[in-house]
Amino acid sequence: MDWKIKPSKSIRGEITVPPDKSISHRSIIFGAVSSGDLRIRNFLTGEDCIRTLEAFRSLGAEIIMEENAVLIRGKGLKGLSAPSGPVYLGNSGTSMRIMSGILAGQDFMTVLTGDESLSKRPMRRVIEPLALMGARVKPLEGGDHAPLSIRGREERLLPIDYNLPVASAQVKSCVLAAGLYADGTTVVREPFQSRDHTERMLGYFSADIRKKRLTTEITGLRELIPRDIDVPGDISSAAFFIVAALLVKGSNIVLRRVGLNNTRTGVVDVLKRMGGNIDILDPGHGFEPSGDMKVGYSKLRGTVINAREIPLLIDEIPVVAVAAAAAEGQTVINGIGELKVKETDRVESMARNLSNMGAGIEAVRDSLVIHGGVKRFKAAVLESFGDHRTAMSMAVASLLSDGECVIRDTACVDTSYPGFLEDLRNAAY
């Protein structure tokens, strides 16, 4: 499926973006191994999260889709059962990496598989810590990739003190999930702060978890106490409309009930630093805070994004690159290595697309250098490269083009934002 996007005169109105993808995944993962019933309201029904839901159904969890919620009857830490065959996770790296930690604590073998894209993403980073804890995790086709065979330790897992080689919320979450099954205290140390949705949710479910700066400790063998979850809007999805409103003259939008977890608002911090007019209205509280955001057209300027900031806006870098190309001056994004091992190589995908639209962009070692100042992007035929965030970022750039743009192969957007094109067209005037 291809999209045709025409330039816009302004972006206006109120938008409610889809529920947070990261929180939706974790609500299923940890809800399924909690010790009772819970409801998840505002669950994201995108393809990736449905893969997680179906995976836990195949592992014996009772999960009921209601009209406006998901009901889970938790099986307890050790209540899952062996699936009848391999568990297919589509394109969801979050599912595969965090589930690996849960499955490492079970007393049966599971095989996790994925689509062509997921089967190219690195899994050694979860295999190694799980092996240290006593689980047997093996890539069935060799190398560093899925499909993965996971057989839990017959006895309790071993606690470890582990230094993450990269700041990755998925890897951290995998180790903490396995730590639920360890006989003792597992310690995870990060080089930089990454998303903390797992720590928040485990604490909300009364796990024995403690966090101090970049170190998180979890003591295992305590059952999780289920509590209902109300998932806020996904700031990663909101970021496309934030950048669109900042770039297109005459724009003024309100985004309703967006998640404001401080390990996810790096994109807001960077765009404000670039001169973006972004206001937070009525911020809420709770274990996952949320609030409304008001965004208006702004004259942006270039900035430097340091490697330490990357884990806090890893998914928003493609659309930030669009903002940087239209900003005055040069933007340098450091520490871009993790962008090369996402659903696609996002450094390559964004560099090729933005270059085709007339922007100056180049990768220099571990940095992305963007020469700003584009007033109007050149209309072009653009490629998604099978990556939802690349596709949506190029849709935003197309709003500031000098003619109609075509974006190819956009079915991938259904993994996180099935109604994106409709919302964009409703907001664009």
Catalytic positions, please?
315
User: For residue 20, what are its two tokens?
Assistant: 């947070």
Distance CA 187, CA 217 (A): 4
CA distances from 324 to 12, 50, 321 (A): 22, 34, 5
Strands 367-371 and 330-334 come out as: antiparallel
Distance CA 351, CA 330 (A): 15
* Helix%, strand%, coil% for the chain, nearest 5: 35, 25, 40
Contact 240, 420 (CB under 8 A): yes
For 377-420, the three-class secondary structure string (H helix, E strand, C coil) is ECCCEEECCCCHHHHHHHHHHHCCECCCEEEECCHHHHHCCCCH
Strands 109-113 and 148-151 come out as: antiparallel
